[in-house]
C-alpha cells in the first residue's frame, strides 16, 4: 500500500497515545483516505484539549517550526511516498519548499480562501504575506481546491468536500416557527464572523442563537442572554438532532470555501442565512439567503424565511448535495493520478 504523508498546520492534542483535533475535516479526510493509503500525519502539537479523536496510528506532532520541519525531513527516507499538504500557512509553506528542494512532489489542498482569512486576522499586511506564500506554492506544487476562485487562476483540481452520509437525508423532523431559533455550528473565531453576528442580535430578545463549536479550553467567553454556547459535538446523531431543533442556520463567516455545516443544514431542510462576503457559496443550491451584515437587513431576511418556510423547504428538497463517499473517492483518484 502506498504511503501518504499528510502535512497539516492543524493543532493536535496527544492524550495517552490518542490524538485529537477540532477540525472534523482533519479527522475524517485522513481516515477516509486510509482505506487506500498508509496514512502518516505530521501536525503541530496542541497544549489544549481537542474534541475529535483521529483514528489513525501514524501521527507525529511537533512543538515548533524546527522540530516540525525535522519531521518532514525524516519522512523523506520513505520510498514510494506521496505528500499532501493541507492549506498554506508558514509551517506548510516551509514544508512545501523543503520537499521541492529534496525533489519530492507535493499536493496542496486549499480548503478555504487564505487571502480572506489572512486579511480578517492580520489586515493588509496579512494579504501581502499570504500572496507571497501562495505565489511560490502554486509554482512548485500541484493544487487541489473546493472552489475555483480560491485557485486565483492557477491550474488545479476541484473537489466537493462533504461529511454527509445517508443518515443526514432521512427521518426529517418538523420544527416550530413561532420562535426564532438560530444555529451556528463552527469554531468561535474572529474570521468566522461570530462576533459580528452577536453584535447584530444582541438587542433582540425574540431571537435565540445556539453556538455549537466551543473548544474545550477556549479563551473566548461569550455572555449574552439570547445566546447559548455548546462544545463541539462529536456524535453524529446528536448533531442531527441539534439541527432539527432549530429553524434557521446562520453562517456568518467573512470567508469560506466549501462549508460543511452549510451542507449539513441543507440536508436537514433548515434554511441558511449567509452574508454578502461569502455569496459565492450559493451556486445552484436552494434554501440559502444572502443578507447584508446589519441588523435591519438580517431581521428582514429572517422574517421572509419564516413567512415562506414550507415553500422554502419544498424547494430545498430539490438540492443535489455531495456525499462523503463521493468526496473521498474523488480525492483518492486525484492523489493517485498526480505525479
pLDDT at 106: 95
| Residue 23: pLDDT band with limits 50, 70, 90 | confident
| Claim to verify: residue 81 and residue 193 sit in the same structural domain | no
Task: Give the number of other Cβ atoms within 10 Å of residue 189's Cβ.
Answer: 18
pLDDT in tens, 187-246: 888 888 899 999 999 888 889 999 998 776 555 667 788 899 988 888 899 999 999 999
User: Domain containing 12: what range?
Assistant: 3-162+325-337
| Claim to verify: residue 158 and residue 193 sit in the same structural domain | no
| Claim to verify: residue 123 and residue 197 sit in the same structural domain | no
What is the mean pLDDT of the segment spanning 3-17? 95
What CATH number has the domain bearing residue 99?
Answer: 3.40.50.2000
For residue 45, pLDDT beyond 70:
yes
Query: Global pTM?
Result: 0.85
pLDDT at 15: 93
pLDDT in tens, 137-193: 999 999 999 889 899 999 999 999 999 999 999 999 998 888 999 999 988 888 888
Q: Which three cell numbers stand for residue 114?
A: 487564505
Residue 30: helix, strand or coil by DSSP? Answer: helix
For residue 47, pLDDT beyond 70:
yes
Owner of C-alpha cell 438540492: 319
Distance of CA 10 to the CA centre of its chain: 12
Q: Are 15 and 53 in contact (CB under 8 A)?
A: no
| Claim to verify: residue 215 and residue 274 sit in the same structural domain | yes
| Claim to verify: residue 221 and residue 289 sit in the same structural domain | yes
pLDDT at 224: 84
pLDDT in tens, 66-94: 999 999 999 987 677 899 999 999 999 99
pLDDT at 116: 85
* Pairing outcome for strands 180-185 and 207-214: parallel
CA-based torsion, 134, 139, 143, 149: positive or negative: positive
Question: How far is it, in rounded angstroms, from Cα 224 to Cα 244?
Answer: 23
Q: Which three cell numbers stand for residue 104?
A: 519530492
Burial class for 212, CB neighbours closer than 10 Å (0-12, 13-18, 19+): buried
| Claim to verify: residue 12 and residue 146 sit in the same structural domain | yes
pLDDT at 75: 92
pLDDT at 256: 83
Q: Could you give phi then psi for residue 181, rounded to 5 degrees? A: -120, 100
| Claim to verify: residue 204 and residue 137 sit in the same structural domain | no
- Percentage above 70 pLDDT, the chain: 98
| Claim to verify: residue 14 and residue 109 sit in the same structural domain | yes
| Claim to verify: residue 51 and residue 197 sit in the same structural domain | no
| Claim to verify: residue 31 and residue 125 sit in the same structural domain | yes
Domain total of the chain: 2
pLDDT at 200: 93
| Claim to verify: residue 312 and residue 331 sit in the same structural domain | no
What is the mean pLDDT of the segment spanning 114-134? 92
| Residue 308: pLDDT band with limits 50, 70, 90 | very high
pLDDT at 121: 85
The mean predicted confidence, pLDDT, of the chain is 92
pLDDT at 34: 95
Amino acid at each position: 500500500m502506498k504511503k501518504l504523508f499528510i502535512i497539516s498546520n492543524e493543532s493536535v492534542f496527544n492524550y495517552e497515545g490518542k490524538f485529537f483535533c477540532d477540525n472534523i475535516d482533519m479527522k475524517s479526510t485522513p481516515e477516509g483516505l486510509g482505506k487506500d493509503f498508509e496514512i502518516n500525519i505530521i501536525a503541530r502539537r496542541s497544549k489544549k484539549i481537542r474534541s475529535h479523536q483521529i483514528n489513525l496510528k501514524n501521527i507525529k506532532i511537533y512543538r515548533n517550526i524546527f522540530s516540525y520541519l525535522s519531521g518532514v525531513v525524516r519522512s523523506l527516507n520513505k520510498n514510494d511516498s506521496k505528500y499532501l499538504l493541507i492549506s498554506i500557512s508558514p509551517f506548510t509553506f516551509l514544508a512545501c519548499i523543503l520537499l521541492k528542494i529534496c525533489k519530492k512532489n507535493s499536493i496542496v489542498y486549499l480548503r478555504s480562501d487564505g487571502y480572506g482569512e489572512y486579511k480578517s486576522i492580520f489586515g493588509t499586511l496579512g494579504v501581502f504575506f499570504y500572496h507571497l506564500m501562495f505565489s511560490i506554492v502554486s509554482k512548485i506544487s500541484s493544487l487541489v481546491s473546493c472552489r475555483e476562485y480560491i485557485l486565483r487562476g492557477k491550474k488545479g483540481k476541484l473537489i466537493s468536500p462533504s461529511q454527509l452520509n445517508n443518515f443526514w437525508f432521512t427521518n426529517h423532523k418538523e420544527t416550530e416557527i413561532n420562535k426564532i431559533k438560530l444555529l451556528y455550528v463552527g469554531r468561535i473565531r474572529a474570521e468566522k464572523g461570530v462576533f459580528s453576528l452577536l453584535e447584530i442580535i444582541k438587542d433582540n430578545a425574540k431571537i435565540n442563537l445556539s453556538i455549537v463549536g466551543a473548544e474545550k479550553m477556549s479563551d473566548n467567553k461569550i455572555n449574552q442572554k439570547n445566546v447559548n454556547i455548546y462544545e463541539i459535538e462529536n456524535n453524529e446523531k446528536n448533531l442531527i438532532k441539534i439541527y432539527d431543533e432549530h429553524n434557521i442556520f446562520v453562517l456568518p463567516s467573512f470567508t469560506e470555501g466549501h462549508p460543511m455545516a452549510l451542507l449539513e443544514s441543507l440536508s436537514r431542510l433548515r434554511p441558511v442565512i449567509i452574508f454578502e462576503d461569502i455569496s459565492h457559496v450559493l451556486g445552484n443550491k436552494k434554501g440559502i439567503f444572502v443578507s447584508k451584515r446589519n441588523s435591519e437587513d438580517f431581521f428582514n431576511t429572517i422574517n421572509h424565511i419564516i413567512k415562506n418556510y414550507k415553500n422554502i423547504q419544498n424547494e430545498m428538497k430539490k438540492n443535489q448535495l455531495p456525499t462523503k463517499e463521493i468526496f473521498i473517492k474523488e480525492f483518492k483518484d486525484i492523489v493517485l493520478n498526480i505525479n
